[in-house]
Amino acid sequence: MTTAQVSPPPAAREAGAPLDVHPAIVATVARARAAFDRGVTRPIEWRLEQLRQLERMVLENEARFVAALASDLGKPSFESWAAETNYIVDDARYIARHLRSWAAPKRVASALFVQPARSRIEHDPLGVVLVIAPWNYPMQLSLSPLAGAIAGGNAVVLKPSEVSPASSALLAELVPKYLDREAVHVVEGAVAETTTLLAERFDHIFYTGNGAVARVVMTAAAKHLTPMTLELGGKSPTIVLRDADLDVAARRIAWGKFFNAGQTCVAPDYVLVDASVEEQFVERIRACITAFYGADPKASPDFGRIVSQRHLKRLVGLLSAGDVVVGGTYDTETRYLAPTLLRDVPLDAPVMCEEIFGPILPIVPIDGLDAAIAFVRERPKPLALYVFTGSRSAADEVLARTSSGGACVNDVVSHLVPHDLPFGGVGPSGMGAYHGRHSFETFTHRKSVLDKPTFIDPPVRYPPYSEATLKWLKRLM
């Protein structure tokens, strides 16, 4: 997933060299730490009230959220509702509905050797959490992790992306109006501000973005041994086998690819289609683009824009690889890039080696199931994998022989929706997961507690040891 660049935090504090520190940011982190240390965030009632306020914030300002998203990304109102405002409200409600049961201590069995005793697992808040959000879904990917961190009983510092300035400014305005001003903070800015944040000590860092910046964030976190959740990206492959329903496959792939103008971390990045049905599949995708966006997608109210001219320039540079069979047109001033299909793409071309993160879809013919699986296995583990086939055994084989953060059979993207499915990557596509209960688990520590009474204290575990006692224990165990 593409996001703003962050410079490595210098080791100036340790070395005594000058450091461009923003004192207000340091003070903000200290306020969050003080609120957590005072126990402000620990009560369940506080967490539930913050989740209710988060829901209120979105519902009462939905029109402003939609306007900010339109300004930043040209995002259609339907996409803003489906993937941003409604998603956040639904997430906050679901977490609030289940929070008491998730947070309740869980009794577990105690081994015979420690009896009499009671054992339980408690979910402890981690402390102060830093959420670094990206620009492509600037509301959802800020406020959904925020909801999970609040549910876990943490203080939070949220850093929205400066690449989506309207969304960042709106969050900075609204969050302190609705949420606890001592425990929940928004820090705006770019590289310098993020660098100052990363020099501070946090108890967990939740980062959504690309792998290059993730390495910088991990380096900073390592200085404090801070645990992290990394939601990254990669080239999510889509396999279309010869027995797939091509009409359904084309519709679903086109929708998932061109939603948010392709700026989605789990968008189909390229299609591996059985060579025997390649022509038919391309024509169906072409027809879907016209059906979705009309003869001129630039005039469609349902097709978004690239977030910045810099990102558009990068995408335009990818078009020279292969043959453009659909789309390929662009407008720098309006940040428009047409839904585009590429064929005959060299496998070592940049468009096949880096995450596209835009409305460009390479079509790669393959010779059957084994070839598709080999293609995927030869590359880094992706955030998502999609397979379209009429054969359950073929789908199962793809899932069994490949590794990905998540997967869909005969669909794309939709595995993000169910609350009970964890969302996260594997290997270079990320570490850790969230959504629903998994968000609560991510932002809490599962603390083991053994409670042993003192009215009885069997001497068998104390020296001096005897062979007779050992033999008795071995028989007993």
CA distances from 212 to 8, 69, 193, 266, 470 (A): 11, 26, 18, 18, 56
Label residue 218 exposed, middle or buried (CB < 10 Å: 0-12, 13-18, 19+). Answer: middle
Residue at token pair 């001033």: 333
Tokens of 131: 């959420």
Contacts of 294 (CB under 8 A, 6+ apart): 300
Q: What residues does 365 pair with on adjacent strands?
A: 273
Which residues carry out catalysis? 231, 265
Q: How far apart are CA 99 and CA 141, in angstroms?
A: 20
Q: Which residues pair with 411 in a beta bridge?
A: none
Query: CA–CA distance from 213 to each of 145, 164, 191, 220, 313 (Å)?
Result: 19, 17, 11, 11, 20
Long-range contacts of 175-182 (CB under 8 A, 24+ apart): 175/57, 177/57, 178/53, 178/54, 178/56, 178/57, 179/50, 179/53, 179/54, 179/57, 179/150, 180/35, 180/40, 180/41, 180/46, 180/50, 182/31, 182/32, 182/34, 182/35, 182/40, 182/155
